[in-house]
Amino acid sequence: MENKFIESGSYAKLQIVGGLIRKEASKKGVGKLVDEIRWINNLPEELKTHFPEIVRYDIDSPIVFSEMRYYPLNTLRRLIMEKKIDVDGALKQLEIIFDFMFDKIYKIYPKEDTTSLIDDVYFNRAKNRLGEMRGLTPIFKRLLDTKKIILNGNEYDHVLPVLKKLENDEKLKRVLHPPYISYIHGDLHLGNILADKEDSNKFILIDPRGRVYGGGVGGDYAYDLGKIWHSLNGLYDFIHENKFTVKYSVEGDTLKAKLDILEEEKIEVYKAILEKIPNLLQKYEKIKNDKYWYERTLFSEIIHFCSLLPFHREGDNYEKKPITFYLRSVVLLKKFMEIWKNVAKE
């Protein structure tokens, strides 16, 4: 793999050079990589232990790069998928990570203007990414212009019309506003957690976002939980690794699709881990005192799926992976709306 570039998310490239991980970006990917470098460098020294050590970097050239220490660890995703860690082991690892995040990272409170936080992080982010995908691929424009979706025999609404209604729901916007703003990782899914199955304390959290969508470094910790949920509940990992089949067609004003996510045995493991996380989180005072952490987590998960689309574009005019992410978002949104109906009555 020496000197071979690997495409990464958010328009960055990775390369192993002389025992270091070189991450570089140009044009679109520059801003995010600069934010990541600055965020890690500005962390208090005692918190840098669980983030990649940056050995060299350049944020002033047309091609921005960072060279980070290489860690011979597997991602938590790989450990679970390859059965190198069981449900209890995964939960132990996640609890140690949650301890670090809630006791250290989520206690750094930047002073930032949060006036547009909800619009930027949720509604504008989804609209912008869906709009970007519509412009990039003709097939997505055609799909998004249909009136309804029939997925696996069930009817669903498209995301944007539902979000347009929710955008005017003042109670929802109050619920979505976090009780406080803190540092967050910003991309805390299982593929960004490097773990040692022999020692759960030796974890590294890679690819921190650095700057939350909308401009500040501060965000809602439920944004991070939404990333955990989109791995375990939304099954992002299975789609990312092509463990699915999807077929779809446009018939009149209807998008008809059949989606099957494969490897049911592993899905059951994911479900078993997720089932225990809400109780695990109750040990943290921030969760105990936050009435709507769960609703914000679920809504964040939906928006995360919508925001993934441009980064997984395949350019083959079928776009099976982006369409699958989108179909997962419409399923999750329908489930959220059922939950929200009850919460809205309170």
Distance CA 19, CA 55 (A): 11
How many other β-carbons are positioned within 10 Å of the β-carbon of residue 264? Answer: 8
> What percent of the chain shows pLDDT beyond 70?
97
Domain residue limits, the chain: 1-70, 73-344
Closest CA to 88 of 253, 336, 272, 215: 272
Looking at every residue in the chain, the average pLDDT score rounds to 94
DSSP-based three-state secondary structure for 196: strand
Per residue in 76-95, pLDDT (tens digit) is 999 999 999 999 999 999 99
Distance CA 189, CA 206 (A): 10
Q: Which of 113-117, 158-162, 251-255 has the lowest mean pLDDT?
A: 113-117
User: How sure is the predictor about 99, in pLDDT bands with cuts at 50, 70 and 90?
Assistant: very high
Taking CB atoms within 8 Å and a gap of at least 24, the contacts of 287-292 are 287/102, 289/179, 290/178, 290/179, 292/175, 292/176, 292/343
Q: How far is CA 94 from CA 193, 201, 235, 244, in A?
A: 9, 10, 17, 26
Q: What is the CATH architecture of 1-70?
A: 2-Layer Sandwich (3.30)
Check whether domain 73-344 has CATH 1.10.3470, yes or no = no
Q: Which of 8-17, 58-67, 283-292, 301-310 has the lowest mean pLDDT?
A: 8-17
Distance CA 101, CA 124 (A): 27
**Residue tagged 């441009």 (tokens):** 310
Distance CA 199, CA 22 (A): 26
**Residue tagged 């914000």 (tokens):** 296
Confidence (pLDDT) at 27: 81
Confidence (pLDDT) at 24: 94
Please give the helix or strand (H or E) that residue 55 lies within, else none.
strand 54-58
Please give the helix or strand (H or E) that residue 148 lies within, else none.
strand 148-151
Is 5's pLDDT higher than 90?
Answer: no
Give strand pairing partners of 74: 195
Start-to-end C-alpha separation, the chain: 56
Q: Is the dihedral of CA 260, 266, 272, 275 positive or negative?
A: negative
Distance CA 122, CA 119 (A): 6
Distance CA 308, CA 315 (A): 15
User: 258 CB contacts (<8 Å, ≥6 apart)?
Assistant: 151, 152, 245, 246, 247, 248
Q: How far is CA 291 from CA 129, 295, 337, in A?
A: 29, 9, 18
Q: Against a cut of 0.75, is the pTM above it?
A: yes
